[in-house]
Structure 1
Amino acid sequence: MLHLLKNSFFVFLGACCFGILSTVVKLAYQEGFLFQEVMISQFGTGWLILFVLMLFFGRQKVTGKQFLKLAGVGLCTCLTGVTYYLALQSIPASIAVVLLFQFTWIGVMIEAIVKRQWPDKSTVISVIILFVGTIMAGGIMGAGEIQLDLKGTLLGLTAALMMALFVFFSGRVETQMSPITRSFYTSTGGLILLTILFTPKVYTEISLFDNGLWLFGLILGVFGVVLPVLLFVLGAPKISTGLATILGAGELPVAVIASVLVLSEQVTALQWIGVIVILLGIAYPQMAAQKRGRVPAVQR
């Protein structure tokens, strides 16, 4: 049980790291930085940190096939950020958050399809609790009439799918490899995708040090690439995909708390209740397992 709790904590902590990003990105936008600058600074800085760590702690031979698999995982996490940030340009943040957090039930369904086994009762109940909590914490209730943009909605749902796939593959791809090596090649995949999307020319037009972009890049690189990827690599292979996606919902409470502490945003009582509901939804599978006298299934 302690082993499961430790690995669950790794995944939960990784999700919490993701929760800090929205606040830092908003601060970067307030300073006048563009979407491309923010994304490249995040993945470029994260890649450099992991490269240094690998040189000292994670040297390991990697075949071409292994690299492609790990780079594919990096594509998922990179596309999560790209599609989510683009969705925010055409739909309200509250809607974008709710769409992104559909990754909880999508991840559970992916596991059900792969295992050809319907999720257990505690998992289904947890996903329902998380959905209700997300609606409350996202600020949709009481927001009045909401106009949905089709493109923004599809981008938000794509972000959810990519997040679910990132969690799923983090627990299954090259799990025998050292965490730092896996994390480095995963981040490499994300950086390659950004190079293709933005073209190499963008790199010559962006300066990390002349205008203070390096500080945002450092924070986003640590909390958006290095720590979450490492923590998911450490914990996700040792717990089920369903449990990992449920733990991933820890991102939203942190995002709400960070927006209050750093941006001084107003959060309603209903949103705070939603945060509490999300935390209960995350804890429910563990509580239900303890009540039954067993631990949730671990994937192998």
Structure 2
Amino acid sequence: MRYILLVFIGACSYGILSTIVKLAYGQGYSPAEVIGGQMFFGFVLTWLPALFFLRTKPQWRQLLLLVAVGLTVGSTGIFYYNALQFIPASIAIVLLFQFTWMGVLAEAFLTRRRPDRQTIGSLVLLLIGTLLAGGLFEGGGWGQFNFMGVMLGLLSAVSYTLFLIFSGKAAITVQPWVRSSAMATGSLLLASLIYPPVFLFNGALLDGLFPYVFLLAFFGIFLPTVLFNFGIPHIGAGMAAILGAAELPMAVISSYVVLNESVSLLQTLGVVVILIGIVLPEWFRRRGKRGNTQETSDRH
């Protein structure tokens, strides 16, 4: 339960990002400044505590593998933020949330075990809740598709799925703080190649960019990466994908509280359905455990 809670909190932290990004864009900052700043300060935040855990140095092979995993973190943000230039946020978030079934399908393929009925039922609820919470049944959302935006949105889902899978399997013997910093290094390298860090020299940081990119780094790189590195190895990518759906309810709530955006009855219903879909697998698992315990005691 402790590891489930860690992954759940990490997923919720991702939900705050869209609100912060909207605030930063509203101040006139470009995607290059926002993404580059997020990855740079994410790198700094994760390496500061990691320096205290470098007494037993990991192998270079392990570090390079973790840096490669970090590329999936960076590419998820890059694909998603650029998708927002072509399609509405409601559609982009629905496309990103395809990682729920992608993650479960990938784990089933890797472990060669079919998902149980409870997991499949949970996925169905998550997909229904995502469509409702994303507002696709209101305001003609379905008519706003753009091919490039859809492709970028789906690529962000694929990248996030790869992160959920490999963050729980790559170099798990390495200290979690060091694993997180190595992944953040990969994210920074990718972002720097696509968006050179000109924000460090053009005065944007001191001109008001810093609070936004620092918050994005904390809630988008530092906190979720660390929590996922502690939690996912113990619960698996399939359960992590289901818990990751907590991002959308948090995005809706933060937009309502911070940006004063209206939330319809259908969106509220979607949030409730998503939360039920998240809780359902763990509830069935605990119920099954109690049933087995009772059956064993009855035999004795």
TM-score, normalised to structure 2, is 0.93
In structure 2, do the counterparts of structure 1 residues 112 and 120 end up closer, same or farther at CA, with 3 Å as the change threshold? same
Please point out which of 269, 274, 280 is paired with 2:270: 274
Question: Which has the higher mean CA deviation after the structures are superposed, 228-237 or 59-68?
Answer: 59-68
> How far apart are the structure 2 equivalents of 1:109 and 1:15?
19
Confirm or deny that 1:155 pairs with 2:165: no
Gaps of 5+ in 1: 296-300
Please point out which of 159, 162, 165 is paired with 1:165: 162
Displacement of 1:205: 4.5
Question: Which has the higher mean CA deviation after the structures are superposed, 170-179 or 184-193?
Answer: 170-179
Confirm or deny that 1:241 pairs with 2:240: no
Please point out which of 284, 289, 299 is paired with 2:285: 289
Contact 1:11 1:248 survives alignment (8 Å): yes
Contact 2:53 2:175 survives alignment (8 Å): no
- Aligned letter for 2:7? V
- Aligned letter for 2:269? I
Contact 2:37 2:199 survives alignment (8 Å): no
More helix by proportion, 1 or 2? 2
Contact 1:183 1:229 survives alignment (8 Å): yes
- Aligned letter for 2:57? K
Confirm or deny that 1:22 pairs with 2:43: no
Contact 1:15 1:249 survives alignment (8 Å): yes
Residue 212 of structure 1 aligns to a residue whose secondary structure is helix
Tell me the C-alpha RMSD between the 2 structures.
1.5
Contact 1:37 1:206 survives alignment (8 Å): no
Any idea what the Cα deviations from partners look like across 1:98-157, whole Å, max 9, x if unmatched?
100000000001101111121111111111100000000000112225131111101100
Confirm or deny that 1:36 pairs with 2:32: yes
Any idea what the Cα deviations from partners look like across 1:149-172, whole Å, max 9, x if unmatched?
111101100000111111111111
Displacement of 1:210: 2.3
- Aligned letter for 1:264? N
Residue 86 of structure 2 aligns to a residue whose secondary structure is coil
> How far apart are the structure 2 equivalents of 1:161 and 1:59?
35
Displacement of 1:97: 0.8
Confirm or deny that 1:129 pairs with 2:129: no
In structure 2, do the counterparts of structure 1 residues 187 and 41 end up closer, same or farther at CA, with 3 Å as the change threshold? same
Aligned residue number for residue 45 of structure 2 = 49
Aligned residue number for residue 193 of structure 2 = 196
Displacement of 1:241: 1.4
TM-score, normalised to structure 1, is 0.93
Bigger radius of gyration among the two: 2
> How far apart are the structure 1 equivalents of 2:290 and 2:61?
38
The count of residues paired between Structure 1 and Structure 2 equals 290
Aligned residue number for residue 258 of structure 1 = 254
Identity of matched residues, %: 44
In structure 2, do the counterparts of structure 1 residues 241 and 209 end up closer, same or farther at CA, with 3 Å as the change threshold? closer
Displacement of 1:294: 6.8
Displacement of 1:293: 1.7
In structure 2, do the counterparts of structure 1 residues 285 and 216 end up closer, same or farther at CA, with 3 Å as the change threshold? same
Aligned residue number for residue 174 of structure 2 = 177
Contact 1:42 1:217 survives alignment (8 Å): yes
Please point out which of 195, 211, 217 is paired with 2:213: 217
Q: How does 1:85-104 map to 2 (within 5 A)?
A: 85-104=81-100
Any idea what the Cα deviations from partners look like across 1:59-94, whole Å, max 9, x if unmatched?
441322112210111111111110001111111111
Gaps of 5+ in 2: 292-300
Residue 146 of structure 1 aligns to a residue whose secondary structure is helix
Displacement of 1:206: 4.2
Please point out which of 107, 110, 124 is paired with 2:103: 107
